[in-house]
Amino acid sequence: MRYCIKGGEIVDPAGGFSGSGDLLIEDGKVTAVERELEVEDCQVYDASGKLVFPGLIDLHVHLREPGREDEETIAGGAKAAIKGGFTGIACMANTDPVADNAVVIEYIKKQAQAAGYAKVYPIGAITKGLQGRELAEMGAMAAAGAVGFSDDGKTVTNAAVFREALEYATQFGLPLFLHEEDPDLAGDGVMHEGYWSTVLGLPGIPSVAEEIMIARDILLAEYTGARVHFCHVSAAGSVRLIREAKFRGLLISAEVTPHHFSLSDAMVQSYDPVFRVSPPLRGERDLAALKEGLRDGAIDVIATDHAPHTLEEKHREFSLAPTGMIGLETALSVAWTELVLEKILTKQQLVEKMSVNPAAVLGISGGSLKTGAAADVIVFDPNLEWTVTPEQLVSKSKNSPFIGRKLMGGVDGVWVNGDLKLAHGNFVE
Ligand SMILES: [Zn+2]
């Protein structure tokens, strides 16, 4: 099938084309991008008044399969990704069984392929069983298609084990994705340690629990020459450490989530467990620093940390509820509303943070609409105004902190390898 996406504003910082134009898709690839195309025998997709982006790529998703298919499945998560404009997602290893061997990596790839929604890139565990003691089978997982390694959900606290992991991962040229929190400093904390934890009488997790691990791992990355990526950075001090390390020329990268730059610890006043997340929602000063980090390039990527939990699991008191929020279907609209409309990022920078840079971190093709690229393309309607409701979320779990929020901008069309998956907001079955 040939498609011609006509009359949209093409935003393609990696490919170089910007402004109003037409885009031709043939045989799964972008074959022409011009101010105006005259082509016959193709299905025209009217994008006038809308924006055309390379498909978004999410570095940080929990698909819960294998093990917790009651929360989410590979197919369900990959479908929710399409709804949110993500044509590629990387999934974390903390499933049951843990993705610490080639068999689980191959299983994930097979399920994703059968589902046929977003492309799924599995991330393997750093240590066996996420136990932080013995390295997982990195070589076998790399050969099976793992795009990187992470013990996400946990920090590799033993510096000697972590150093070994860095040296080993370097042999495969793959990055390590790091969840950074010192478990001793975090203690039994359930929210950010600050004004609100004091007022609410809940044990706090200090920002320094994150900063201290980021500082350690910057030093170890520098010492070993390995590539590290800092997941869901939440604290102002972390942004400063990463900015300084980049200034010294280190090959590190970092992500923030939409919930961390748009929601503060004041949300916990409601005691609603939907706002319990790891790392916790921080203070206003941190939110401002995350936005500044996105603006000046200290932070490279916006990733969701999409973490589905069932209603039953979340329906208990705040300090007993599991941590995590879903985010695939709201990320682009939240970023558009909070960053682009607030003039913190340009449209081009938004596409860099959500498509170009994540592709570079993973070392995969994508993030560009230039001729010859795989046709992973989305059409975004910046004028759509919508209020998030549980009913419209296709994710199996509905634990979104944005339910009830009014957002600007929505995903209108999505192509993966030239196949139309979402047309005018509806799935193409
Ligand atoms: Zn994490």
Per-residue pLDDT tens digits for 182-193:
999 999 999 999
Beta strand residue intervals within 328-405, DSSP E:
377-387
CATH number of 55-362: 3.20.20.140
Q: Residue 381: what pLDDT?
A: 98
Exposure class string for 409-420: b at 16+ Cβ within 10 A, else e: bbbbbbbbbbeb
From the list 152, 305, 381, 412, the catalytic residue is 305
Q: How much distance in Å is there from the Cα of 196 to the middle of ligand 1?
A: 23
Q: How much distance in Å is there from the Cα of 154 to the middle of ligand 1?
A: 7
- Distance CA(112)–CA(145), nearest Å, equals 13
- Distance CA(114)–CA(371), nearest Å, equals 28
Retrieve residue 397's tokens.
Answer: 């779990």
C-beta neighbour count of 195 within 10 angstroms: 13
Q: Is 305 a catalytic residue?
A: yes
Reported as half-sphere exposure (CB side, CA atoms, 13 A), residue 76 has a value of 21
CATH 3.20.20.140 domain residues, the chain: 55-362
CB 326 within 8 A of CB 28: no
Backbone angles phi, psi at 426, to 5 degrees: -115, 145
Q: How much distance in Å is there from the Cα of 231 to the middle of ligand 1?
A: 6
pLDDT of 338 above 90: yes
- Distance CA(120)–CA(108), nearest Å, equals 8
- Distance CA(109)–CA(346), nearest Å, equals 34
- Report the predicted TM-score, pTM, of the whole model to 2 decimal places: 0.97
Q: 391 burial class (0-12, 13-18, 19+ CB within 10 angstroms)?
A: exposed
Q: For the segment 199-237, what is each residue's pLDDT rounded down to a tens digit?
A: 999 999 999 999 999 999 999 999 999 999 999 999 999
pLDDT of 68 above 90: yes
Q: Residue 429: what pLDDT?
A: 80
Q: How much distance in Å is there from the Cα of 233 to the middle of ligand 1?
A: 9
- Distance CA(262)–CA(248), nearest Å, equals 29
Neighbours of ion ligand 1 (CB under 5 A): 152, 179
pLDDT of 155 above 90: yes
CATH architecture of 3-52+373-427: Roll (2.30)
Q: Residue 171: what pLDDT?
A: 92
pLDDT of 250 above 90: yes
Q: How much distance in Å is there from the Cα of 134 to the middle of ligand 1?
A: 20
Contacts of 320 (CB under 8 A, 6+ apart): none
CB 412 within 8 A of CB 379: yes
- Per-residue CA distances from 20 to 10, 23, 36, 97 (Å): 6, 10, 9, 48
CATH 2.30.40.10 domain residues, the chain: 3-52+373-427
